Structure 1
Amino acid sequence: MADTTEEEAGAPVSRPRKASWRYIGPGIVVAATGVGAGDLVATLIAGSKFGYTLLWAAVIGCLVKISLAEAAGRWHLATGRTLFDGWRSLGAWTTVYFAVYVTVWGFVYGAAAMSSSALPLAALFPDSMDLKWWGVLCGLVGLVFVWFNRYAVFEKVMTVLVGVMFVVTVYLAVRVTPNLGDAFAGLVPVLPDGSLIYTLGLIGGVGGTITLAAYGYWVNAKGWHNTSWMKVMRLDNRVAYITTGIFVVAMLFVGAELLHSTGIALAKGDKGLLDLADILADRYGTATAKLFLVGFFATSFTSLIGVWHGVSLMFADFVSHYRPSVAPAGTPRDKTPAFRAYLLWLTFPPIALLFLDQPFGLVIVYGVIGAFFMPFLALTLVWLLNSSRTPAQWRNGVLSNVMLAAAGLLFVVLCVQQVRELPW
């Protein structure tokens, strides 16, 4: 990508597009990818332990993600440079960190995403196939889908799956008959005893992964390449994270009404959602439980194909800066050898982890570098968007700086907590 903006190059900038619903897309993709089954379990557990009390934290979490994704999108549109290009301008340390991160993280995440997508399928079709083979099938389907389709098709499929997630979660929230008085009371910030870690997790965890950094790449893939798309990008981003907020609030309602009132505990991790399916079957019947499992699959599979596509775009950009000869000029980023190589890395080596216990040392490395990514993203965005690398008109204002700095501090605290909880 060029290192100068259109304004600096003297090229005319297109007249700003009117923010319109018909343009919305990349934000839905990044939000759906960032919300995985584990996030929903964490939200359910928070609701089961504290009822509606932490609803305010879920709302703040959505505002934090809006700020981060907006900053990533603004960098791409205002500078004409990719986020990795910006990181590289901060020093060689960012390249080293990113290279280690995408290598180790992708290896372990691939297995986790396949397992998460397999769980609801194994529950929907019992005795038809072993869980591990369902995982392999999900990984291969994700590989083939992303390999052979352009961004436009990918976005449409993601939107359909988000629609499924939305319908299922809202239906469940209505079905459990939420206490709206208690819910509104939960918008007042309070911290019950023992709730600090759950609160930080709700603010920082849901929808917060490397895919936030991929947002700018999806913005470019959509065809938005200059500041004329800034209003459109901001509307797209807000709609996406408001939708995410509805997911989170709906699951908190389910946790508060279905679990908190009865004292039922869920297993941690993705398997907690299978516990919830059993509870739903007992309370509301098999049809509701199966509908929930369909939503569970949509939640997990959007994360899988979103990472397969978005992080592979980032890796392709990384390679293009060091081996520009690998792809002929003009080749779309999602058709380059580097993009496809990372797709294969996300799929085939992790399959081995489905049949083996994850090596202890690998789990430690994965946990450490993964914990550091969100502080890395938030604080480097503050750096980039307050420097001369960004045209003055598009640098951070006071609100953006406050939100990004707060996000950075929050993620540092979560990073320390996550590292402390690792099985050293």
Structure 2
Amino acid sequence: MIKKWMQSIGPGPLIAAAFIGPGTVTVCTLAGADFGYALIWAMLISVVATVVLQEMSARLGIVSQRGLSEVIKSEIKNTFFKRITILLIISAIVIGNAAYEAGNITGAVLGLESIFGNHIFELGSVSLNYFSVFIGFLAFLLLYFGNYKMLEKVLISLVILMSIAFVSTAIITKPDLTSIAKGIFSFKAPKGSLLTIIALIGTTVVPYNIFLHSALVKEKWKNAKDLKLARRDTIIAIVLGGFVSMSIIICAATINVNELNSASDLALALEPLFGDNAKYLLSIGLFSAGITSAVTAPLAAAYVATGCLGWSTNLNTKRFRLIWIVVLLLGVIFSSTSIKPILIIKFAQIANGLLLPIVAILLLWIMNKSSILGKHKNTLFNNSISFIIVIMTVFVGLKGILKVLSLI
């Protein structure tokens, strides 16, 4: 029974693993610390939007047996618009993931440091974090020697570990269930919470996941008859991911400690209140969140770049490996040294802010093309829900850009 269930699991947990990275953990921690249970509804909306977008991405990948970047390249006929779109996609996903990879690795490092302490080697003005190099090396081994099935098993195991860690920590804190219910269904934005709401949505509805999902499903399923399995896999995994994110919000809200700026602060705050076990659980969760994102971000960058450039998307080709190696290497360098790629991160945030609504619009356009999807194209209901989500992504994307430009 368990073996059959495991065999039916697809890339859904990998997508959940990708969006529950250190950034999501930090945003959820701050949401809970600053606004209590009041913003759980924003995470609920984020999960619904993610399910809709990822289901369309999975359906496209299975029916067309192509990734989204490959379909965009072939379907946009105007040469100028095609080049601009591809340039934006590569800038946001490849360059962006290289910048964000440092955060992914650092998140995993924080989880280890909460348990083992700091391990830094200093040589003159240069300092090197041993844990960053270790995490980078671990991610390299998984990506270089692993095939899709191996990556799937490892990441699913880490997602399960992460889920147990964060949910168990939330249970230990004994939250107020009535207040949680109010937070889920209130749909109210406390004063000063707008940017936090945007951040919760922005860290869950991730552009690179839309590309990654369409590329991964064709590794698992080859026939439109498998759409039901893919849909179930997507819904269960993303809902579970949303539940994990809500658990972090609940945990941060329940302990009611001032000065919480990151999940590592939360881990330290739990120790005197609930003992070592709570701290260890949260540290394990943070480590798992970091390592899964440290693997999926370079993988997504490689799929996107090879698809846009018309190269083979096979995991074992030299070009595919070269792209994820560069992304991973930059992440290790930025994470393990004192170098902070602030300008690159700001550029990536602006590019992602532009890309999210464009990808949502392009995906909606493609999902209505009978030439690609035949009878599996979007229904009126799909389009109605998707249109609302597109409007939401435009708002989130523009607000994110304005935030980076310090105009709000």
TM-score, scaled to structure 2: 0.88
Q: Give the aligned partner of residue 415 of structure 1.
A: 397
State the shift of 1:239 in Å: 0.6
Hey, what does 1:156 align to over in structure 2? 153
SS of 1:53's equivalent in the other structure is: coil
Deviates more, 1:393-402 or 1:59-68: 393-402
What does 1:1-400 correspond to in 2, within 5 Å?
22-88=7-73, 89-90=75-76, 91-130=82-121, 132-188=129-185, 189-206=187-204, 208-222=206-220, 224-259=221-256, 262=257, 264-267=258-261, 272-319=262-309, 321=310, 333-354=314-335, 355-400=337-382
Q: What amino acid sits opposite 2:227 in the alignment?
A: M
User: Can you give the 5+ residue segments of structure 2 that lack an aligned partner in the other structure?
Assistant: 77-81, 122-127
Deviating more after overlay: 131-140 vs 347-356: 347-356
Asked if 1 retains the 8 angstrom alpha-carbon contact of 2:267 and 2:283, the reply is yes
What CA distance in whole angstroms lies between the structure 1 residues aligned with 2:91 and 2:214?
Answer: 21
Task: Report what 1:3 is aligned to.
Answer: none
Q: Could you tell me how far 1:339 is from its partner in structure 2?
A: 1.2
Distance change in 2, residues 1:181/1:361 (3 Å): closer
Specify whether residues 366 and 280 from structure 1 end up closer, same or farther in structure 2 by C-alpha distance, changes over 3 A only.
Answer: same
Report the alpha carbon displacement of residue 423 of structure 1 after superposing the two structures with TM: 5.9
- Please give the secondary structure, in 1, of the residue aligned with 2:344: helix
- Identical-pair percentage: 22
The one-letter code of the counterpart of 2:14 is V
Matching residue's letter, 1:154:
L
Paired with 2:152 and 2:373, the residues of 1 have a C-alpha distance of 30
- Report if the CA contact (8 A) 2:107-2:289 is conserved: no
Q: Report if aligned partners of 2:15, 2:209 keep a CA contact under 8 Å in 1.
A: yes
| 1:315 Cα offset (Å) | 2.7
Report deviation, 1:203. 3.2
Distance 1:193 1:361, change over 3 A: closer
Q: CA deviation at 1:236?
A: 0.4
Please say if residues 41 and 273 of structure 1, whose CA atoms lie closer than 8 Å, have aligned partners that are also in contact: yes
- Matched with 2:125 is none
Are the equivalent residues in 1 in contact too, given 2:94–2:301 (CA < 8 A)?
no
> Aligned equivalents of 2:260 and 2:284: distance in 1?
19
- Inter-partner Cα distance in structure 2 for 1:251 and 1:126: 23
How many residues are paired up? Answer: 389
Q: Using a 3 Å threshold, how does the CA distance of structure 1 residues 396 and 195 change in structure 2: closer, same or farther?
A: same
AA aligned to 1:415 is G
* Inter-partner Cα distance in structure 1 for 2:371 and 2:88: 21
SS at match of 1:63: helix
CA distance in 2 between counterparts of 1:82 and 1:194 reads: 39
Report the CA distance shift for 1:104/1:289 in structure 2 as closer, same or farther (over 3 A): same
Separation in 1, partners of 2:69, 2:191: 41
The structure-2 alpha-carbon separation of the partners of 1:348 and 1:225, relative to structure 1 and needing over 3 Å to count, comes to: same
What's the CA shift for 1:111?
Answer: 2.2
Give secondary structure in 1 for the equivalent of 2:204: coil
Inter-CA distance 170–350: structure 2 relative to 1 (3 Å threshold): closer
**SS of corresponding position for 1:333:** coil
Distance 1:359 1:156, change over 3 A: closer
Contact kept, 8 Å, 2:94 with 2:302, in 1: the verdict is no
Equivalent position amino acid for 2:91 in 1: V
Paired residue secondary structure (2:315): helix
What SS does the aligned partner of 1:391 have? helix
- For residue 407 of structure 1, report the CA deviation from its aligned partner: 2.3
1:291 shift after superposition: 2.3
Quickly say closer, same or farther: Cα 1:418–1:207, change in 2 above 3 A.
Answer: closer
Shift of 1:360: 4.7
Q: What one-letter code is carried by the residue in structure 2 that aligns with 1:83?
A: L
Cα 1:350–1:80 change in 2 (3 A) is closer
Supply the AA of the counterpart residue of 2:101. G
Alignment partners' CA distance in 1, 2:331 and 2:369: 39
* Paired residue type of 2:351: I
Any conservation in 2 of the 1:48–1:256 contact (CA below 8 Å)? yes
Letter in 1 for 2:356: M
Q: Partner of 1:421: helix, strand, or coil?
A: helix
Shift of 1:396: 1.4
1: CA distance between counterparts of 2:116 and 2:87? Answer: 44
Q: Unaligned stretches of 5+ in structure 1?
A: 1-18
CA distance in 1, matches of 2:374, 2:396: 32
What's the offset of the Cα at 1:296? 0.8
| 1: CA distance, partners of 2:34 / 2:93 | 35
